[in-house]
Amino acid sequence: MKDQRQFLRKALHCTVSIFDENQKSVGVMADYSDTGIMIASYQAIAVNQTFHFSMIDLPGNSGTKRSGRIEVQSAWCDKINTTQFGTGFRLLKADDSAKQMFQSYDAAQ
């Protein structure tokens, strides 16, 4: 898979689950950059579509669940192994909670 990111990918130090507007699991965030995210999922995700997702994590196994809302546009989708797809998204909007979550991931680097 060709790396199409313009910004450095950042690894996550906790699991960030992604859900659609119907609270159905989409997948997990594999990594992120300043302007986008990559989601690993078991289903291919349509490209050039806008999505409204909820992101939920349990930072540092604290037992305290955090959640935030993001609006993203799918840019590419490719098979990353025999059972999963990777989809790259441009980050269009993030609510204050999501922004705080991203900032905490940066602080953990």
pLDDT at 1: 45
The CATH number of 10-107, from 2.40.10.220, 3.10.450.50, 3.40.50.150, 1.20.58.110, is: 2.40.10.220
The partner residues of 12 in beta bridges, in order of sequence, read none
Residue that the structure tokens 């979550």 belong to:
101
What band does 90 get if pLDDT is binned at 50, 70 and 90? very high
pLDDT tens figures, 15-67: 999 999 999 999 999 999 889 999 999 999 999 999 999 999 987 766 788 99
Band of residue 82 on the pLDDT scale cut at 50, 70, 90: very high
Domain boundaries, the chain: 10-107
Torsion of CA 40, 55, 103, 44, to 10 degrees: 20
Among 50, 49, 29, residue whose Cα is nearest residue 38: 29
φ, ψ (nearest 5 deg) of residue 92: -95, -45
